[in-house]
Amino acid sequence: MDSDSDSDGSHVSATPPRDPLPPPRRPPQPPPKPTSSSSSKSTAKIKPSSHSDTIFKPKKPSSSKHDKVKPKPKPKPVPEPEPEPIQQPDLPSPVGNFPFQIRRLSDQSHPISVGRSLETLPAGFFSTRRASFSKFSKSSLNFEPESTPEITSEPKIKGSDGSGSAKTFSKKLPNLIRGDAPLPEVKLQKRSEEGNFVKLNFRGFKRKFTAKGKKMNSYSYKSKYFRRSKRRVKPEVDTGSLCDEEGLVSDIKQQLKAEKLSRFESVEAAVSAVRNEVSDENLLRLLKAMYGYDSFRDGQLEAIKMVLAGKSAMLVLPTGAGKSLCYQIPTVVLPGVTLVVSPLVALMIDQLKQLPPMIQGGLLSSSQGPEEAAEMLRTIQEGSIKVLFVSPERFLNADFLSIFSGTTFVSLVVVDEAHCVSEWSHNFRPSYMRLRASLLRAKLNVECILAMTATATTTTLQSVMSALEISSTNLIQKAHVLAIAFMQSMYISQAISNLYLHWILQSETDEISRYLSDNNISAKSYHSGMLARDRSRIQELFCANKIRVVVATVAFGMGLDKRDVEAVIHYSLPESLEEYVQEIGRGGRDGRLAYCHLFFDDVTYYKLRSLMYSDGVDEFSVNKFLCQVFADGTNSHGKVCSLVKESASRKFDMKEEVMLTLLTQLELGGTQYLHLLPQLSVTCTLNFHKTSPMSLADKDPAVAAVLRKSEIKQGQYVFDIPTVANSIGIAPSELLNHLQDLKVKGEITYELKDPAFCFKIVKVPSDFCSLMELLTRWLLDVENCKVWKLDAMYSSAVFAVDACEKTHDCNVAQQTTCLQKRILDYFKGDNNPNVLDKMGHNSPFLRADVKVFLQSNSNVKFTPRAIARIMHGIGSPAYPSSTWSRTHFWGRYTQIDFKAVMNAAKAELMNFVGKDAP
C-alpha cells in the first residue's frame, strides 16, 4: 500500500521533539564556520566500481505519452497599448512615471486596507516597455486608478498610520540600485552565472501533474533532450524541404546519434578519471562533459568532493545556485542508487525532468497506482535507475525498503528541502522526522547523506544536522541575503515591463487576474483549488512568456525554474522571514535585479497571528489521544491499532498532521512506544460471490476471521482490517494481499474506506501523566516559535518603513542596509530582532463576552483553547467555522493575544462549571 502523502505541502506547527522531549533549543548557537576544502587538488580516491556499467544506459527516445509535446494553444497576442501621453516629470526612476498605478485603497473601506508597504529591489532597473493599466475603477478589488501623481523629488502618497487615519506623507525616492541614487554596497549577481539566493516555498502547494511517475522516467527527459538537440539543428537545415529529402533526414539522425554517443563517451571517460582520482581538474572535466559548464559555482565543488569522500554534508545554497548538480555529479561517480527525498510530488517531477540525459531517474509517488509502483520497483532492482525521487513517507513502506537489501544498494541519500526535518523551521513536515541518520543507516545501510536547503536559521540548521548526524565541519553555507533594498511606496508601477507574481488569497486571485486582463495585462490566476491540468498549463504559459502575470497563492512557484521573473509582489504578509526570502528568491534568477513589493497591514497581521494557533493542542486533547492509542492498556502490546483520521481528528480536536506528529514522536522519541505502519483505509465491506462464506471459511482462516469479526449490514460483511489481522496474527498488509488474491479468483469483491493511521504497539507507557505533560509543553514551544516567526516578519516590515527611519534617522540607502542587517541577523540567530508587541493583553468586555457565549452554548463542551479559537475566528476539527462562524463572538478578539483570551476563557469556564476547567 502506498503510504506517500499527496504532499500538499501544508505544514504543521505542532510537533513533538525528536529525542525524548528535549528542552527548547532557542536561542540558537551559530554553527561553526564551514571548513572550506579549497585545495586545488584533492587526492581522495574512489575504487573503480564493477557497477560502472549501470550508470549509462542510453535508451531510445521513448514515444511514451509523456514525451509527446502537446501543441500549446496559441495565446492571443497581447495588444501592446499605446502609452498614454503623459506629463513626464523629471525623475530618475520610472517608478511613478505612469498615469495609473495599481494600488490598494488606504481608506478604511476595505478590511485590509494598506497601512504601510515595503518594497525591495525597486524598479529602476527595468526596461521601459509599457503595457499600461487603463484608468479603471474596481472598488471590490481595491485597485484605484489614480490620476497622474504629482511627482516631485518628494512625491506625496497616501498612507495610513497605525490608528487607521489616512494621512499624507512624503514618499522617499526609491533607493535604486543604479548610478543615480545613493546606494549601499549591494553585490549583484552576474547574469546567468549566479543563482539567486533563496529557496522556493512549497507551503500549500498542491499541484498534481497529470503524468504519473512511471511516465516520467529517464526516457522522457532523454527524448526531450534529443528533441532539444533536433531543434538546435533546425536553423542549419531547410525544414521545408526535409520532408522530401529523406537522405537529409537520415543524415540529421545520424548526426544526432553521433553527438549523443560522443557526449556519453566523454562523460564516461570523465567519470573514470574522477573514480581514479577525485581532483578538481577531473571534476571540472566531468562538469564540462555532463553540462557544458566551464566552472563550478560557489560551494558546488566543496559539496561534491565531500560526498565523494563519503562524508555527510549540509549544503545551504541560494535558490537557483545549482544544488542539484551537487548530487547529480556524485551520482554518476558512485556505484549505487541515489535516493532523493523530496516533500512534493510536483517538485520530484520537475527535478526528474531536469536530470541530465545520462542519468536515469525514476520516482515513486502516491499518484502512482500499485502496478506502476511495482513496475518502478522492478526497474530499480534491474539496476536501470540511478536517481530515485521518493517522498519521506516511502520509508514506512516495507516493499520499498526491501529492494535495497539485495544487490541494489543506495550510495547516497539526498534530503532536499532539509529544513523540513526541523520542528523549528518554517515548514516542518512530520514525515521528515523519519529522516534521521540512525534510521537511514538501519534501513538502507547508507552512510552518506547530503542535506540541502536554501533558507534556514541557525537553529533550524543545527537541528537538521543533529538529526542527520552531520558534523558541524561539514556545513557548506553560501546563502546570503544581499540584494534587498526598499522604498516607501504603495505603487506597483507600470515600469515593470515583464512579469510579476502575487502571493495572495485564493479568493482574490481570480478577481485580480481578471482585472489585469481587462486592462490588457495578460494575467492568469493560480491556486490549489484549480485542476492540476490547468495549473500546469498556466505554469507552461508563464515560463514561455505567453502570460506576463501569474496572480497566485503560495501554491505557485515550487520547482519553477524561470529565470526572468522580474517582480514578486506580496499582496499580504508572509508568515516568516524564511518564507519571504524564499518567495522573493523566485525573482531575478537570471542574476538581474528583480522588483519586490510587499503590502502589509495590521488587519492581515492579526488574522495571520490568530491562524498560528490553529494547529495547537492542549493537555486535555493530548491526554485523550494517548488514552485512545493505548486503549487496551498492557494488553495492547504487539497489537496493530488504527486511528481513523477523520473521526479521530474531530474527537481530539486535532489536525491530522498533528496526530501524525504525535504518533511519529511516540515511535522515534527516546522511548519507542509504537511502530508506525503505512496508512490504510481500514473499514472493509465485503461480498462473497462464488463459494458460500461458510465453505470458504472452512478452507481459509482469514475468511473465518472475517466472518467472526464482521457485522452484517444489508447482506454485506463489514469489518475492521486491523482487528481481523490481529485475530489471526498477521499484518494488515498481508490480509489485504490475501483479500486481493480472493478477489482475483472471483470469490469476493470488497471496498475499503476510512483512511487511518496504523501502528503496532511496542511498549505501553508506564507514566501517562508525565508523557502527556512533556508532549504538551513541547507542542506549545513549537507554537510559540511559529508566532515568534510571524512577529519577526511583521516587525521587520514595520522597522523597514518606520522604526528604522525614526530611531536611526536613516536615509533610504541606510535603511536598506539596516533591513539587510536585520534579516541576516535573523538567519544567523544572533542579535535576533526585538519583535513588536502589537497585541492587546486585555479587554474590559472579554470575560463578560465569554460568559455570555458559554451561557448561550450551555449544551456544548469547550476547552479554553476552543473558546479562544472561536473568539479569534479560527475553525478547528471539532469546532468548524461552518458552524461556529455564525456566532457573533466569532473573530471578535483577534487583536487580543490568544493566550490572554485562553486565560479569560479558562477563568470563566471555572466559574461556569463551578470546578476546574479541563
Ligand X SMILES: Nc1ncnc2c1ncn2[C@@H]1O[C@H](COP(=O)(O)OP(=O)(O)OP(=O)(O)O)[C@@H](O)[C@H]1O
Least gap, CB of 198 to ligand X (angstroms): 8
Question: What are the distances in angstroms from CA 565 to CA 215, 346, 557, 622, 808?
Answer: 29, 20, 11, 46, 34
31 touching ligand X, by CB under 6 A: no
588: left (phi over 0), alpha (psi -120 to 50) or beta: left
Least gap, CB of 148 to ligand X (angstroms): 39
State which residue, 480 or 763, has the beta carbon closest to ligand X. Answer: 480
623 touching ligand X, by CB under 6 A: no
Q: Report the candidate in 396, 469, 420, 464 with the shortest Cα–Cα distance to residue 663.
A: 396
Q: Which stretch binds ligand X (CB under 6 A): 175-183, 320-328, 490-498, 833-841?
A: 320-328
Least gap, CB of 287 to ligand X (angstroms): 7
Least gap, CB of 539 to ligand X (angstroms): 14
Q: Which stretch binds ligand X (CB under 6 A): 108-116, 315-323, 390-398, 865-873?
A: 315-323
State which residue, 368 or 425, has the beta carbon closest to ligand X. Answer: 425
The residue whose Cβ lies closest to ligand X is 322
State which residue, 353 or 650, has the beta carbon closest to ligand X. Answer: 353
832 touching ligand X, by CB under 6 A: no
| Cell (9 digits) for 892 | 471578535
State which residue, 321 or 644, has the beta carbon closest to ligand X. Answer: 321
Q: Find the angle CA(41)-CA(45)-CA(50) to the nearest 5 degrees.
A: 140
State which residue, 285 or 297, has the beta carbon closest to ligand X. Answer: 297
CA 632 to chain centre: 38
356 touching ligand X, by CB under 6 A: no
State which residue, 38 or 882, has the beta carbon closest to ligand X. Answer: 38
State which residue, 590 or 667, has the beta carbon closest to ligand X. Answer: 590
Q: In the range 795-824, which residues lie near ligand X by CB under 6 A?
A: none
Q: Report the candidate in 659, 613, 645 with the shortest Cα–Cα distance to residue 874.
A: 613
For residues 181 and 174, the answer to whether their CB atoms sit within 8 Å is yes
CA 533 to chain centre: 20
Q: Which stretch binds ligand X (CB under 6 A): 142-150, 323-331, 373-381, 758-766?
A: 323-331
User: x/- contact string, 550-589, with ligand X (CB under 6 A)?
Assistant: -----------x----------------------------
Label each residue of 836-860 as H, E or C.
CCCCECCCCCHHHHHHHHHHHCCCC
State which residue, 296 or 879, has the beta carbon closest to ligand X. Answer: 296
304 touching ligand X, by CB under 6 A: no
Least gap, CB of 892 to ligand X (angstroms): 42
Cβ neighbors of 195 (< 8 A, separation 6 or more) are 189, 297, 317, 318, 319, 320, 321, 322, 589
For residues 683 and 720, the answer to whether their CB atoms sit within 8 Å is yes
Q: Residue 357 carries which side chain, given as an amino acid letter?
A: P
224 touching ligand X, by CB under 6 A: no
Q: Is 261 exposed, middle or buried (0-12, 13-18, 19+ CB in 10 A)?
A: exposed
For residues 571 and 502, the answer to whether their CB atoms sit within 8 Å is yes
Percent composition of the chain: helix, strand, coil (DSSP 3-state, to 5): 40, 15, 45
16 touching ligand X, by CB under 6 A: no
State which residue, 322 or 362, has the beta carbon closest to ligand X. Answer: 322
Strands 523-526, 387-390: pairing is: unpaired
State which residue, 557 or 616, has the beta carbon closest to ligand X. Answer: 557
Q: Could you give phi then psi for residue 804, rounded to 5 degrees?
A: -55, -45
In whole angstroms, give the CA distance from residue 795 to residue 602. Answer: 11
Q: In the range 148-207, which residues lie near ligand X by CB under 6 A?
A: 195, 199-200
Q: Is 256 exposed, middle or buried (0-12, 13-18, 19+ CB in 10 A)?
A: middle
Interface size with ligand X, residues (CB under 6 A): 17
In whole angstroms, give the CA distance from residue 362 to residue 250. Answer: 31
525 touching ligand X, by CB under 6 A: no
Q: Report the candidate in 511, 593, 586, 507 with the shortest Cα–Cα distance to residue 542.
A: 586
Least gap, CB of 857 to ligand X (angstroms): 49
Least gap, CB of 692 to ligand X (angstroms): 59
Strands 523-526, 549-552: pairing is: parallel
409 touching ligand X, by CB under 6 A: no
State which residue, 312 or 342, has the beta carbon closest to ligand X. Answer: 342
Q: In the range 435-464, which residues lie near ligand X by CB under 6 A?
A: 454
User: Contact with ligand X (CB under 6 A): which of 93, 160, 217, 319?
Assistant: 319
For residues 361 and 334, the answer to whether their CB atoms sit within 8 Å is no
State which residue, 194 or 601, has the beta carbon closest to ligand X. Answer: 194
State which residue, 196 or 661, has the beta carbon closest to ligand X. Answer: 196
Q: Residue 186 carries which side chain, given as an amino acid letter?
A: V
Q: Which stretch binds ligand X (CB under 6 A): 135-143, 313-321, 729-737, 788-796?
A: 313-321
For residues 558 and 552, the answer to whether their CB atoms sit within 8 Å is no
Cβ neighbors of 788 (< 8 A, separation 6 or more) are 835
For residues 550 and 556, the answer to whether their CB atoms sit within 8 Å is yes
Least gap, CB of 385 to ligand X (angstroms): 20
Eight-state DSSP code of residue 456: -
330 touching ligand X, by CB under 6 A: no
User: Contact with ligand X (CB under 6 A): which of 132, 223, 324, 477?
Assistant: 324
Q: How many residues does the chain have?
A: 918
User: Contact with ligand X (CB under 6 A): which of 28, 115, 124, 320?
Assistant: 320
User: Contact with ligand X (CB under 6 A): which of 325, 344, 748, 800?
Assistant: 325
Least gap, CB of 200 to ligand X (angstroms): 5
360 touching ligand X, by CB under 6 A: no
State which residue, 9 or 149, has the beta carbon closest to ligand X. Answer: 9
In whole angstroms, give the CA distance from residue 29 to residue 828. Answer: 9
State which residue, 146 or 298, has the beta carbon closest to ligand X. Answer: 298
User: Contact with ligand X (CB under 6 A): which of 176, 177, 267, 321?
Assistant: 321
872 touching ligand X, by CB under 6 A: no
Helix (H) or strand (E) holding 623: helix 619-629
225 touching ligand X, by CB under 6 A: no
Q: At what angle are helices 812-828 and 577-584 packed, to 10 degrees?
A: 120
User: x/- contact string, 260-299, with ligand X (CB under 6 A)?
Assistant: ---------------------------------x--xx--
Cβ neighbors of 670 (< 8 A, separation 6 or more) are 19, 20, 21
329 touching ligand X, by CB under 6 A: no
State which residue, 296 or 599, has the beta carbon closest to ligand X. Answer: 296
State which residue, 348 or 775, has the beta carbon closest to ligand X. Answer: 348
Least gap, CB of 592 to ligand X (angstroms): 15
User: Contact with ligand X (CB under 6 A): which of 121, 176, 216, 317?
Assistant: 317
Q: Which stretch binds ligand X (CB under 6 A): 321-329, 465-473, 615-623, 690-698?
A: 321-329
60 CB-side CA count, 13 A = 4
In whole angstroms, give the CA distance from residue 509 to residue 101. Answer: 18
Least gap, CB of 299 to ligand X (angstroms): 10
850 touching ligand X, by CB under 6 A: no
User: Contact with ligand X (CB under 6 A): which of 323, 419, 597, 892?
Assistant: 323
115 touching ligand X, by CB under 6 A: no
- Residue spans of alpha helices (H) in 324-471: 324-333, 345-353, 370-381, 398-402, 437-444, 458-467
Using CB under 6 A as the criterion, which residues of the chain lie in contact with ligand X when the complex forms?
195, 199-200, 293, 296-297, 300, 317, 319-325, 454, 561
